[in-house]
Structure 1
Amino acid sequence: MKSITVTVKEKEIIVMKGVKIRELIDQKEIIDNQYVAALLNTKVVSLNYSLKSSCNIEFLTPRNPQGHKIFMSSLTFLLFAAFYNVYPQVKIKISHSIGDSFYFYSTNSDINPEMIENVYKKMEEYVDQNLFIDVEFWDKDEAINYFKEKEDIYKLLFYSSSNSFIIVSIDGYSDISITPISQYTGVLKPFKLVSYKDGFLLYFPPSKTFPLFRPYDEKSKLFNIYIENKQLMSAIGVDSVGRLNDAIVKREAIDVILISETQQLDRIMTIARKIVSQKDVKLVTIAGPSSSGKTTFSKKIMFSLRSLGIKAMAISLDDYFVDREKTPKDENGEYDFECIEALDTDYFNQNMIDLFAGKEVVLPLFDFIAGKRKEEGIHHRLSENEILIIEGIHGLNPKLTYRLDKKYLFKIYISPLTQLNISSSIRIPTTRARLIRRMVRDFRYRGISAVETLARWDMVVRGEEKNIFPYQNNADMFFDSALIYEQSVLRTFAEPLLKSVPIESPYYTEASILLDFILHFIPIPFDYVPNTSILREFIGSSLYIQNF
């Protein structure tokens, strides 16, 4: 058999072709270092992967962002296996993330603390025994036949264009996987299982502090959004990718789109009515992470308020930038335009105070080419029945409105919070949905390649973790900008972009994961999407953006 050269930890070793990655090092080293997967050149693979040619191998742990995703997926699989063996009649479903945890609930039974404790003990038993998680590739017919009793998986497989699937098994339980899974249960620690609402939470330490947990952060306002979304999906009859594909094949895509858009508009009107009901409100601030649809949403709020007889005007926080030479710099010596200090908050607050007092002010205009405020501005006085609307990353930061009386403020957090599940055990992360939105928009509007978008994404997320997420609980209301059908529309645009990422790119793994994910959706023609939809902000031809 042919030999190959493998570089492991900067050392070259000669091995036989076909050797598995886990065979390159001692199992004790895998467990002690918590190796959950490996980076083969630029591709993330399981430790059971058979090497076919000379390559470079880097082991991934939960301290690494890529390794942490596999750690969370593997723990979720372990949880489902434990539930299956302890309470085989109880069907559970993964729902959404809450801080450093995933929320689960049962679709056919009540969940009590005793059950959670018993499942936790079973998971601990799996970890202590350091069981081997079997990973196999099954052909489509074999997989469909095996999962025919599980409707969500059956329909996902039935409509898939793939001819083989990853099947993972342990202790008599099998499931599909769309990412590599840890090979040994011994590396899957620490974790916590805690009762919450009508379900429970699976806690894990974040990669940055691993293995230390962060303090619990209650997000009850967000939880209410998830409960509302579950009811909305029930009304449409679509709660998984397989069922969405089923609706598309049955030519019900337009129905799904129009119901989704109507539901979303209804939620916007609810927020507008809430604003109007608070008679003192003069300023609405909107904040959310990248690709949430803030621009379109702010326009929709503005016109919703106008439809209720309120004069509403949108102003841009970008016009309150300090002159460029006064902009703080980051650790690399680059201008940090995303920090709160890049805004002239003193001038903003004085403008607002004067406006609320009925005075005429000069609203600034920023010259981005010159890097400073223009000498002329916009003269404005608030009418008796007028509300200002601003959107930007610092909309919920108390430093932005530090001199303003809270009774004049109404704060909204926006994000595509809820996504369809791939299956009962596999969720679609909000971050992944936003990244695909951004990738499509970057290319269509700015000519930015998928590689460039992927290269910038970590920096974008770090900025969100610093400037947006810590303040989301300051919001008076949350708005979920996700649309059930959006990935089926985005697939047409995203698929060629993701396929364009070369295999030698350091972002090939992420592109491959995103491509595998988007290919689960049957495409919907983009011209089905109303030109008033938030989705049009990313695919083009938005009525709101064309007019402003």
Structure 2
Amino acid sequence: MKLEIDHKCVEYKEGTRFETIAADFQHNYPDRIALVIYNGKIRELFKKANRDGTLSFLTLSSAAGHMAYHRTACMMMLKAVRDVACSETVDVKVEFTVGYGFYCTFRNTDRTPEASFLEKIEKRMEELRDQKIPIRKRDTPMEEALQIFEKQGMLDKVQLFRYRASSSVNVYNLDGFYDYYYGYMLPDTSYVTKFHLQRQHDGFLLVLPPQEKPDVLVKTSSREKVFNQMILSTHWGRMMQVQNVADLNDCVVSGKVNQLILVQEALFERRIGEIAKHIYDRPHVKMVMIAGPSSSGKTSFANRLCIQLRTFGRTPHLISLDNYYKNREDTPKNPDGSYNFETIDAIDVEYFNESMKTLLAGGTVEIPRFNFVKGEREKFGEKLKIGESDILV
């Protein structure tokens, strides 16, 4: 069997594991190889090459390798919890990401895990890592998978897979602990070298390395405001009895999805109203800034916030950064020649700052409009001057 690897033709026996091939080329990569791309498709290292083709490697510092590290670390943590608790039904829920790790809670209990208990779990994870235990995937008949998950107390997975139309599901096995993951996994526990457990709120953090430094634990900032919002969102899910996809499926099947949407919208509108009240209580505030990635809902949120601010007697003025793009000929380009509209350098920051400073100082400015068809800013004589009750959004 002939494989093209790093622009070289290499021969291997048919049925050779990708892990074996990766070991032969590991010296060419600073970070450990986590996955391979075989004939254009990502494959896990415990899979086998069975015909000629092209092969390239993904390390732990790649996006796919980093996610595989996260999934494998989660499986090791869940296995360690059950080993330490000496129970198959102890229920740990991975709630959401925080910094470089995950926030987890113990379900069916209001107690915050003791530091000593977390130390035992971390020590057990270290033992699993040192034992280099293989992680294997098996295409499992659906009924058998449901029995496995029910025995392990994973009732949310049982609920989820009852909606699955296929007759089988891929189940991963780590030394007798079974779980399902939507994504690729590492071949054994030795790949997860760095991790740490620490108490947080009512649960604990599973701290993991960042993608760019897969062998180093970086101190995670508290990000208190983001964390509190995630906790609030989790509380909303519990309050509406929709904590996972299976619950959402139940809601749709029972015909209650419209009610769910209305309740969610009401909760969100109430939250925006609280933000508007917080702004109103600080009369010296003249500018509110909303940040987020592309298509995250910034403009929609800004419009709803403006409506709420008006109910408090404030006069909001919506300022869109889209109107402060540089003209097309001055826009930075990507290496492939396409325009890069995501960089801050695509914005005329100097012009924007000058306009905002003038407004805040009581002056008058002309608000531009960016013509995306022509690729240039246009002025229509729209003048703006803010008064005592005005606020820029």
Structure 1 residue 71: Cα displacement: 1.1
What residue number does 1:98 align with? 98
Greater Cα shift, 142-151 or 338-347: 338-347
- Runs (5+) with no aligned partner, structure 1: 390-548
1:21 to 18, 21, 33: 18
Contact 1:64–1:207 (8 Å) recurs in 2: yes
Residue 39 of structure 2 corresponds to residue 37 of structure 1: no
Cα 1:79–1:349 change in 2 (3 A) is same
- Which residue is equivalent to 1:407? none
Residue 300 of structure 1, CA deviation:
1.0
Structure showing greater Rg:
2
| Aligned 8 A contact 1:104 1:200 in 2 | yes
The 1:371–1:181 alpha-carbon spacing in structure 2 relative to 1, beyond 3 Å, is closer
What residue is the counterpart of 2:71 in the other structure?
73
**Structure 1: which amino acid aligns with 2:259?**
D
Cα distance per residue 1:18-45 (max 9 Å; x no partner): 5543454669969x96333322222222
| Residue deviations 1:267-291 (CA, integer Å, cap 9, x gap) | 1111111111111222221110122
Aligned to 2:323: 319
> Which segments of 5 or more consecutive residues in structure 2 lack a partner in the other structure?
none
Query: Are 1:356 and 2:360 counterparts?
Result: yes
> What residue number does 2:53 align with?
55
**Counterpart residue number, 2:268:** 264
1:201 aligns with 2:199: no
- For 1:84 and 1:374, the matched residues in 2 are separated by 64
Shift of 1:70: 0.6
Match of 2:258 in 1: 254
Contact 1:20-1:51 within 8 A present in 2 as well: yes
Is the Cα–Cα contact under 8 Å of residues 365 and 377 in structure 1 kept in the other structure?
A: no
> Structure 2 length normalisation: TM-score?
0.88
Separation in 2, partners of 1:342, 1:212:
34
Q: Partner residue of 1:345?
A: 349
Residue 63 of structure 1 contacts residue 208 of structure 1 at CA under 8 Å; is this kept in 2? yes
SS at match of 2:265: helix
**Alignment-mate amino acid for residue 114 of structure 1:** S
Aligned pairs for 1:325-474 within 5 A? 325-327=329-331, 336-374=340-378, 376-389=380-393
Tell me how far apart the structure 2 counterparts of residues 187 and 136 of structure 1 sit (CA, whole Å).
Answer: 20
User: Residue 315 of structure 1 aligns to a residue in which SS?
Assistant: coil
Aligned residue among 180, 186, 202 for 2:184: 180
Task: Please give the alpha-carbon distance, in whole angstroms, between the structure 2 residues aligned to 1:34 and 1:324.
Answer: 42
User: Which residue does the alignment assign to 1:302?
Assistant: 306
Distance 1:37 1:388 in 2: 49
The structural deviation recorded for 1:369 is 4.8
Q: Deviations over 1:111-151 (max 9, x none)?
A: 11111111111111111111112321101111112223422
Work out the number of aligned pairs and report it.
384
Does the CA contact (< 8 Å) of 2:2 and 2:9 recur in 1?
no
Further displaced range: 327-336 or 54-63: 327-336
| SS of match in other structure, 2:68 | helix
Match of 2:119 in 1: 117
Change (3 A) 1:111 1:303: same
Residue by residue, what CA displacement relative to the aligned partner does 1:38-92 show, whole Å, maximum 9, x if unpaired?
2222222222224454332333321222111111111111111111111145421
C-alpha displacement at 1:6, in angstroms?
3.7
Q: Deviations over 1:93-116 (max 9, x none)?
A: 111111111111211243111111
Q: 1:352 to 1:73 in 2, by over 3 A?
A: same
Contact 1:166/1:178 (<8 A) preserved = no
Q: 1:235 aligns with which of 239, 243, 260?
A: 239
User: 1:285–1:38: structure 2 CA closer, same or farther, 3 Å change rule?
Assistant: same
Is the Cα contact below 8 Å between 1:61 and 1:67 reproduced in 2?
A: yes
Q: Contact between 2:31 and 2:61, CA under 8 Å: does it hold in 1? A: no
Q: 1:154 aligns with which of 143, 155, 158?
A: 158
SS at match of 1:261: helix
Q: Secondary structure at the match of 2:317?
A: strand
The structural deviation recorded for 1:158 is 0.7
- Output the TM-score relative to the length of structure 1: 0.64
Aligned match of 2:141: 139
Identify the residue that residue 289 of structure 2 maps to in structure 1. Answer: 285
Partner of 1:220: 224
Residue 260 and residue 373 in structure 1: after superposition, are their counterparts in 2 closer, same or farther (change >3 A)?
Answer: closer
Higher relative contact order (CA 8 A, sep 6+): 1
Structure 1 pair 305/37, CA: closer, same or farther in 2 (3 Å)?
Answer: same
| Among candidates 128, 131, 144, match of residue 129 of structure 1 | 131
Name the CA shift for 1:243/1:88 in 2 (closer, same or farther; >3 Å): farther
Structure 2 SS opposite 1:374? strand
Structure 2 CA distance for aligned equivalents of residues 40 and 128 of structure 1 = 29
Distance verdict in 2 for CA 1:375–1:294, change over 3 Å: closer
One-letter amino acid matched to 1:299? N
Deviations 1:372-403 (A, max 9, x none): 443543112223322222xxxxxxxxxxxxxx
Tell me the alpha carbon deviations over residues 346-378 of structure 1, each in whole angstroms, 9 at most, x when there is no partner.
433333333334433322233445544435431
User: Counterparts of 1:136 and 1:274 in 2: how far apart (Å)?
Assistant: 53
Aligned-CA RMSD value: 2.7
Would the alpha carbon gap of residues 11 and 207 (structure 1) be closer, same or farther in structure 2, given more than 3 Å must change?
A: farther
> CA 1:56 to 1:347, structure 2 compared with 1: closer, same or farther past 3 Å?
closer
Mapped contact 1:155–1:246 kept (Cα < 8 A): no
**How far apart, CA to CA, are the structure 2 residues paired with 1:334 and 1:6?**
34
What is the SS of the residue equivalent to 2:318? strand
* Contact kept in structure 2, 1:193 and 1:200, CA below 8 Å: yes
Structure-2 separation of matches of 1:300 and 1:294:
10
Secondary structure of 1:364 counterpart:
strand
